Amino acid sequence: MITLKQQIIAESKRLGIDKIGFASAEPFYELEDSLREQRERGFHSGFEHQVIEERIYPEKTFKHPKTIISIALAYPTKIKEDIPKDEKRGMFARASWGIDYHEVLKDRLTKLIAYIQSLATEKEISKDWRFAPQVDTGELVDVAVAQRAGLGFIGRNGLLITEEFGSFVYLGEIITNIDFEIDEPVPFGCGDCTRCVTACPTKALLGNGQMNAQRCLSYQTQTKGMMPEEYRKKIRNVIYGCDICQMVCPYNKGKDFHFHQEMEPEVDTVYPKLKPMLSLSNKAFKEEFGHLSGAWRGKKPLQRNALIALANVGDRSALPDILLCAKEDVRPVIRGTAAWAIGRLGSREADKWLAALNELLQQETEEEVIVELEQAVKQLSKKK
């Protein structure tokens, strides 16, 4: 006789869930030391759930948990369209291609729960079954759940690595009070390989699956203040996220899956022209980028990053647009970043752009912008 677990696995495939596993809801004792160490050393991003006990003990947020059902959806790594070479473009990391993955995962989790509930009704099984779906904004550590559920192992870069799809997967889970037969965890599979650790341009990866999130370029692209100068050149033309530790991973070689239409990228959205981003209205921003997970922090970080990217790719044609930002934008972060970009791009006409910067200095009142203007003046003064 087919078991409830087997029925759920079969339905998950029909729903377009690429991997599914069942983990014990026992406390994640193995996470406690690393989570506390990360907090104490200031290595956390601040985006994660803040109550450590709730990340370790499922019973803190769910009454009598028995099992955690973990799911994974594979996402594409290559775009089918050619990237136009008409003008300089930025790039969103692959995890932000297509519809916001939170919405895609919530859809699959909701449908899976509805199916399990329908079985309870049909077979007159327990009506006391309860479910709590989570995507990465929840309490649990998704990769720890997925490893325990047998979906893959946690690599040196802290990401879940699956046999079939590498690390290019979105993760979600359902906590339930149903007692299922659990799956075997996947053992660590990186061996002596440290390619991701070596390739990380900011040395954010500690090599044991942990990271200093504050140094991660993905984190830096999501902050709202001035980006520290040491990271600016390192983001190159990426305006959201970072794929470096995934692209160098041997498990990811040749991996590119197009299973879900919602995840398919549009070239002008995920490789946007940089100059038009500087003058985007709120309405236009929502229309063009609002459906991406990379839009969750709003317009300002992406516009700041677009200014940095324009400087990094050497687009001097953008200088008039950048100057307009430095003169007229009401946000100090944008004015300050624009000043930095002028300092990097204005060397061919140093006198012209020095005059513009000095004029801006006369009217600027925000200290963080004044610092950037003064540094840009020094930068261009060297080029005279």
Question: How many angstroms separate the Cα of 197 from the Cα of each of 155, 204, 271?
Answer: 10, 8, 27
Phi/psi at 196 (5° precision): -65, -40
Measure the CA–CA gap between 375 and 364, rounded to whole angstroms.
14
Amino acid (one-letter) located at 91? M
CA 7 → CA 126, 173, 219, 307, distances in Å? 16, 17, 39, 52
Q: Which of 18, 82, 107, 136 is catalytic?
A: 136
Residue 136 designated active-site: yes
User: Would you please indicate which residues are annotated as catalytic (active-site) residues?
Assistant: 136
